[in-house]
Amino acid sequence: MHINFNLPKKILGWYDNNKRSLPWRVGKNSPKKLYYRLLSEFMLQQTQVTTVIPYFKKFTKYFKTLKSLSKSNEQKILKLWEGLGYYRRARNLLATSKVLVNQYNSKLPNTIKEIKKLPGIGDYTANALIGLVHDQPAIAVDGNVKRVFSRIVNKKESKINFDQFIEINKKIFFNSKRNSDFVEALMEFGALICKPKDPKCYICNLNKNCKYFNSSIKIKNIKYKMIKNKNYDVFCYINKKKQIALTKKNNLGFLNQLSLPEIKEANKNIRSRDWKFLKKYKNSISNKKLNINLYYKFSNKIPSSFVWHSMDKNKELIPTFTKKIFRQVSTLF
């Protein structure tokens, strides 16, 4: 069962524009990465994301680091865990934190075999951690990921050996240099788009390559619920250093918590002489079709909520929507 299209590119393109803002998602170089990922993976075992978030925040407020968690006792851990259920997870979390701090200098082992020796960690969690923490080529195969894969090839999950499936397609799966993001993007995609019931096939950017979509009469008859084209003005502060000012504050109702220029619904009456028109182009995000009017202004002064970003460096955390703006604005230099 070979996949003959660039799945990571499509999945990551969707993920960059639509991923949820979750408290355990920190930068690749963050000193909190191992602690946050370990804690969240234990909590998310058989528990919904929305249920886990307040418990995760409570834990990280009380225990600031993996080391402080490891020095705690079972009574304190169980008290904070109260209400989350499956208390064996809490005991295993404490035991694992002690092993990592005392035997591995607060670092995660770099092989699946060694990670699986930690208390309470099996195949799924080991693959998730080695991918998310070490950025190694591994896929955590949960129910969401199984569903995405099985629908792409239009086979029942029970008929697929997922270890073999990943091995056969590893050259495609691990060609993006963003292994940790791909691990998470697959799970996110299965949870939000390729859902068990009423999958959002009409906005799925895999539907052209999905055998389930292209063979199912029920799915093929779903009407595409695309929202009508909407016009937006995008205002870009730029400077001579090839930097563009971005903010995470917007009132659009989508692209929340992502780094963007100033975006407003198009209004002919608010055009300022200070802004120069650069280009008009089309873009789409999920089921939204956008007509973009792109404006720019050279300036060294920007509003307090904006931060300068280089258009040549550090693009890995910039959403695809903004990268397209980078490409348009870079023609000015």
Question: Is 214 contained in some domain?
Answer: yes
Reported confidence tier of residue 186, pLDDT bands at 50, 70, 90? very high
187 and 90 fall within a common domain: no
Question: Is 219 contained in some domain?
Answer: yes
Reported confidence tier of residue 39, pLDDT bands at 50, 70, 90? very high
Residue 300 pLDDT > 80: yes
3-state secondary structure the chain: CCCCCCHHHHHHHHHHHHCCCCCCCCCCCCCCHHHHHHHHHHHCCCCCHHHHHHHHHHHHHHCCCHHHHHCCCHHHHHHHHCCCCCCHHHHHHHHHHHHHHHHCCCCCCCCHHHHCCCCCCCHHHHHHHHHHHHCCCCCCCCHHHHHHHHHHHCCCHHHCCHHHHHHHCHHHHCCCCCHHHHHHHHHHHHHHCCCCCCCCHHHCCCCCCCHHHHHCHHHHCCCCCCEEEEEEEEEEEECCCCEEEEECCCCCCCCCCCCECEEEECCHHHCCCCCEEEEEEEEEECCEEEEEEEEEEECCCCCCCCEEEECCCCCCCCCHHHHHHHHHHHHHC
pLDDT tens sequence across 226-244: 556 788 889 999 998 889 9
220 and 232 fall within a common domain: no
* CA 238/CA 30 separation, integer angstroms: 28
**Predicted local distance difference test score (pLDDT) of residue 217:** 57
Reported confidence tier of residue 298, pLDDT bands at 50, 70, 90? very high
CATH of the domain at 173: 1.10.1670.10
Contact (CB, 8 A) for 319 and 12: no
233 and 285 fall within a common domain: yes
Question: Is 24 contained in some domain?
Answer: no
**Predicted local distance difference test score (pLDDT) of residue 331:** 87
CATH of the domain at 84: 1.10.340.30
Q: Which residues are catalytic?
A: 41
36 and 124 fall within a common domain: yes
CATH of the domain at 274: 3.90.79.10
pLDDT: which is higher, 157 or 284: 157
231 and 211 fall within a common domain: no
Question: Is 5 contained in some domain?
Answer: yes
Question: Is 213 contained in some domain?
Answer: yes
* CA 161/CA 163 separation, integer angstroms: 6
**Predicted local distance difference test score (pLDDT) of residue 266:** 80
Residue 305 burial (CB count, 10 A): 12
Write down the mean pLDDT value for the chain: 88
263 and 303 fall within a common domain: yes
318 and 170 fall within a common domain: no
* CA 265/CA 235 separation, integer angstroms: 11
Domain with 292, as residue range(s), is: 227-332
pTM over 0.85: no
201 and 276 fall within a common domain: no
75 and 215 fall within a common domain: no
Residue 32 pLDDT > 90: yes
**Predicted local distance difference test score (pLDDT) of residue 253:** 66
Measured torsion, CA atoms of residues 119, 120, 123, 129, in degrees rounded to the nearest 10: -80
Last residue of a domain, one of 165, 190, 224: 224
Measured torsion, CA atoms of residues 9, 136, 190, 18, in degrees rounded to the nearest 10: -60
118 and 261 fall within a common domain: no
Sorted by sequence, the CB contacts under 8 Å of residue 19 that are 6+ apart come out as 25, 184, 185, 188
5 and 65 fall within a common domain: no
Number of domains present in the structure of the chain: 3
77 and 120 fall within a common domain: yes
Last residue of a domain, one of 197, 224, 251: 224
Last residue of a domain, one of 224, 250, 265: 224
Single-letter code of the amino acid located at 67: K
Question: Is 23 contained in some domain?
Answer: no
Question: Is 177 contained in some domain?
Answer: yes
Tally of residues, the chain: 333
